[in-house]
Amino acid sequence: MAQHVRGMYDLRQELTSNGVLVMQGTLFQFTQDYTFSAPSTAAAVVLGRSANGRIEWKAADARALKEIQEVEAAQ
């Protein structure tokens, strides 16, 4: 992550340093709400790799954020 998505790596390190993200076993857990600038930034920080947040984030019914946004835009 540090080599390929340096900005996301730095943000993850900052959130960890500030106690917003903590390691729980092998996973990170948020200790408080945090607003990201974009869904892809949030996905990359959480997944530890480059990510398209509109595809990665899913609702409980398994619809991707992209699909939800497209349906709302068509209304």
**Number of Cβ within a 10 Å radius of residue 17:** 9
Residues 53/43, Cβ–Cβ less than 8 Å: yes
Residues in the chain, total: 75
Angstrom distances, CA of residue 30 to CA of 14, 34, 73: 13, 8, 30
Q: For the chain, what are the domain ranges?
A: 6-74
Q: How confident is the prediction along the chain (75 residues), in pLDDT tens digits per residue?
A: 556 668 888 999 999 999 999 999 998 899 999 999 999 999 999 888 889 999 999 999 999 999 999 999 999
Residue of 15, 22, 20 whose CA lies nearest to 33 = 20
Question: What is the C-alpha R_g of the chain?
Answer: 14
Q: Kindly report whether the global pTM for this prediction surpasses the value 0.75.
A: yes
